[in-house]
Copies of this chain bind each other. A is one copy, B any other.
Amino acid sequence: MTTRIDCQERDARDPLAALRDQFDLPQGVIYLDGNSLGARPKAALARAQHVIAQEWGHDLIRSWNTAGWFDLPRRLGDRLAPLIGAAAGEVVITDTTSVNLFKALAAALQMQADDPQRAARRVIVTERSNFPTDIYMAEGLSAWLARGYTVRLVDAVDELPQAIDDETAVVLLTHVNYRTGYQHDMAATSTLAHARGALIVWDLAHSAGAVPVDLHAGGADLAVGCTYKYLNGGPGAPAFIWVPARHQARFRQPLSGWWGHAAPFAMTPHFTATDGIGRALCGTQPVVSLAMVECGLDVFAQTTMDAIRAKSLALTDLFIALVEQRCAAHPLALVTPRAHALRGSQVSFSHPHGYAVMAALIARGVIGDYREPAIMRFGFTPLYTSFADVWDAVEILRDILDRQAYDVHAKRDAVT
């Protein structure tokens, strides 16, 4: 039987333990929601202060050149690239995940429309359980495009082989599911899509910084993702989009703003897309929020995704085992796959009073979150979560459940 001392001993041997000190974590909190909003790298405050006081306040407009503001989306994209198996010049950090998804999906549909063998394909395949904004953006784009597409929602992963057919233009999947923590086999699914003549767009919102991703080896065609979850970029920090070198010349998207122009300051009255990844850009980016993304990436540069994955699996294995041992008397059901290959870096349990139990946990300083229906999510972020944290979180959960110390009439908050 595992004890708290065992957990402390694992912490003592943990090669990532020292990185926790690079984050500002409040006293008395066990933060298991880095899958929704990553914790704050301590360096982010000084970085923002410098951008605000010096670059904006003192250097003013000159900072577009002297502080490299204009190059930030590309430069930070290059720093993110190794975490997702991308090459330099293939990623920009810009706009929101939703907006980048719109660009990626529009571009993928256009690539298919431009291919005489595939031009008749009119179906976008995705999962009903996908993060809703992915489905909404696909619906929105489909309804407005000249060619008229339909969005085909698949109810279970094992239906994908049947659903991806010779009508399918693009498959749009989130690599790690936001609710269940299920992780797709990227390479196998990309291979399946390509075998049927479809292109595949991957949403890495719950993957980047959470699990090893190799977009090239995984056969992805395009990808988007989020920097404010596992990458710790700050609340609402700009998202990213990946366009591999092999697709860049064919990549065209409707949000053809001046930042994607070949000569943005020539001020010509017709749009000519720049070469390379820059054509995924659109308008002026929020510099302060964007600059802080680098502080999260700086922490990742001190370790490897393999080391992070090893600890992530150890943390989630431990959490599952402890909950199932110590809370066995309660109606908790594991939603996340047990198989390592199918798991992201979160663990979800359902409970009939999931919302109320999560509210009680949060009141006791164990911060996870809740997603309909009845699911409690616990995100594990190896950069700052310890094995003792896992033990303590489970003990508090057990105490709440044993004493029924939750309000079954708790009303859901607006957001979390």
A317–B371 CA distance with the chains assembled, in angstroms: 60
A61, A139, A140, A153, most chain B CB atoms within 10 A: A61
Tell me if A257 and B98 are in contact (CB < 8 A).
yes
Q: Which of A34-75 contact B (CB under 8 A)?
A: 36-37, 39-40, 44-45, 48-49, 51-53, 55-65, 69-70
Given contacts A36-B61, A60-B367, A286-B289, contact A257 B133 (CB under 8 A): yes
A83: Cβ under 8 A from any B Cβ:
no
A135–B258 CA distance with the chains assembled, in angstroms: 9
Tell me if A57 and B26 are in contact (CB < 8 A).
yes
- The 8 Å CB contact of A136, one of B58, B65, B261, is B261
Tell me if B60 and A49 are in contact (CB < 8 A).
no
Tell me if B254 and A144 are in contact (CB < 8 A).
yes
Given contacts A64-B415, A146-B146, A282-B99, contact A254 B141 (CB under 8 A): yes
A96–B286 CA distance with the chains assembled, in angstroms: 9
Q: Which of A185-223 contact B (CB under 8 A)?
A: none
Q: Which of A158-166, A168-176, A268-276 contacts B (4 or more CB under 8 A)?
A: A268-276
Tell me if A236 and B136 are in contact (CB < 8 A).
no
Tell me if B57 and A372 are in contact (CB < 8 A).
no
A145: Cβ under 8 A from any B Cβ:
yes
Distance between A253 CB and nearest chain B CB, rounded to angstroms: 8
Copies in the complex: 2
Give a binary string over A267-303; 1 marks a CB under 8 Å from any B CB, 0 the rest: 1111100000000001111111110100000000000
A176–B70 CA distance with the chains assembled, in angstroms: 25
Q: Cβ of A62: which chain B residues have Cβ within 8 Å of it?
A: 362, 367, 416
Given contacts A62-B367, A97-B283, contact A132 B288 (CB under 8 A): no
Given contacts A24-B57, A95-B99, A283-B133, contact A413 B65 (CB under 8 A): yes
A410: Cβ under 8 A from any B Cβ:
no
Q: Cβ of A414: which chain B residues have Cβ within 8 Å of it?
A: 64-65, 70, 265
A265–B355 CA distance with the chains assembled, in angstroms: 13
A380: Cβ under 8 A from any B Cβ:
no
Tell me if B228 and A137 are in contact (CB < 8 A).
no
Cβ-closest chain B residue relative to A129: B269
- The 8 Å CB contact of A135, one of B52, B140, B269, is B269
Tell me if A269 and B69 are in contact (CB < 8 A).
no
Tell me if B287 and A236 are in contact (CB < 8 A).
yes
A236–B95 CA distance with the chains assembled, in angstroms: 11
Tell me if A65 and B415 are in contact (CB < 8 A).
yes
A292–B61 CA distance with the chains assembled, in angstroms: 17
- The 8 Å CB contact of A367, one of B61, B268, B372, is B61
Q: Cβ of A45: which chain B residues have Cβ within 8 Å of it?
A: 49, 52-53, 57
A268–B133 CA distance with the chains assembled, in angstroms: 10
A-B contact pairs, 27 of them (CB 8 A): A24-B53, A33-B61, A37-B56, A44-B56, A45-B52, A48-B52, A51-B235, A60-B367, A63-B235, A64-B414, A69-B236, A95-B283, A96-B284, A98-B258, A98-B259, A98-B283, A131-B258, A132-B264, A136-B270, A139-B271, A140-B256, A234-B288, A235-B287, A236-B284, A288-B288, A288-B289, A288-B292
15 other A-B residue contacts (CB within 8 Å) besides A44-B56, A132-B264: A26-B57, A29-B60, A45-B53, A55-B235, A69-B236, A98-B284, A135-B270, A135-B271, A140-B257, A146-B147, A234-B288, A236-B284, A236-B286, A236-B290, A289-B289
* A residues whose Cβ falls under 8 Å from a Cβ of B: 24, 26, 29, 31, 33, 36-37, 39-40, 44-45, 48-49, 51-53, 55-65, 69-70, 95-99, 102, 106, 128, 130-133, 135-137, 139-141, 143-148, 153, 179, 228, 234-239, 253-259, 261, 264-271, 282-290, 292, 362, 367, 369, 371-372, 412-416
Q: What are the 8 A-B residue pairs with the smallest beta carbon separation, nearest first?
A: A96-B283, A286-B289, A98-B283, A140-B256, A98-B257, A235-B287, A133-B258, A40-B57
